[in-house]
Structure 1
């Protein structure tokens, strides 16, 4: 049996469409005829077929709008096309064939509105200034390009020279992920069991009439673990910049291993191994400091733990 390689015309998805010579009319005429048939149909199944046929035939309009907005929207083309298709469905269902307007003109606001709502819903609650965000994106793109070329990531000073920006402003841009994090007002300031008069959460601290609030809630005098937190800050300040970025980005910023690897220009598994080694060293130093066997300076000088060969079996670097 020999199969023909000649492409056959795509069959019409709706059986009732065969009475219309679709191949000899343009999309505008097809839309007008199908919209009239969709409005006149009373059977739910028939209406659904006409609607789906209209949506599938006008998907190029959605793709065109998604392609124009993709570079500025911060979303993948597939995500924009998906939500834009939902807007097109709503436009078809709301269209009045008696109005002197084309479906494409009527559907554009629906499609663009769906895409705008999707972008709005995905935006962080705390939005940094646009110039800082753009600088942050430039840093990520530059470090990612160096990683792909097999080069080491640039330190902050070299980044500032490369991007021709002020080092202090670059530091602000690099801290965007941390500063944009939202903390609940009900978050506890420390473990329970303290004095009843002491504020137990940020909301109580803000409402306390005892005087001005400390700039950093973690350093408030009501925090029973203030000494430990102060010690931890000192340890983080003494770490290598890469180790500090891994620990802060993972534990405080909630970054994935892939994101941390891109920031540092290393593979995700290597970022995970370095993070685990630095965290293990900090834990052992903290245990020794609590037991009083080492001073903070001696604890900070402890050698790093051997790096594991990789993540445990069955786990994948995110």
Structure 2
């Protein structure tokens, strides 16, 4: 609906010559509230009010420019917030339109950043903390005279240190470069793409992933089960040697190993890390 209205109105988001045409808009909204919804007069007045309020959306969009999103895209999102503000504003509650519209429009823009501009899937909680960090980091940097540490940020925001650390790491997921894109200093000089410069895959990465997944599962085992696994796969002992060490038969060791490994495999495959759950 917002794009359709902008197209019909011919409004330019780059035009700043109209001033604050949304000042004293309340009488217009009061008149709009008296008209039957869907009537030609209601739709005409609504479009005129939205047109007068679009500069407010533009001003707010400019506050969020320079963060990796084109201004025209932000202006369109802000225009949606303007339309929502006009449609939802209740003149009878006594509040000014600005006091209602500004947080509504800013909410639309922030929601767009939160939900639509991350190159990697990040949990919503971390996105929300990351948005708070965007304000807290420069504020603390000025106050402390140095970039704040994660612990200082956690204290300032009254947040969990682990969540602050995760949010700082998640901020690197906001944008991503193409592995196939080549970089050049001139039109005639092209360097190899990042993909071309990658070395062979290090098998150690898989080992790290498997270790991080298995560690909490191993900690949940009984001491006896954990000892058997350590002797078998850590020390390289045979089942017979393990049986002699713990005073059971080799068949019992074989059965315990099979049961433990089957349970660990099922738990690992159902864990969020392997299931792709953020």
Q: Same fold (TM over 0.5)?
A: no
TM-score of the two chains, using structure 1 as the length reference: 0.35
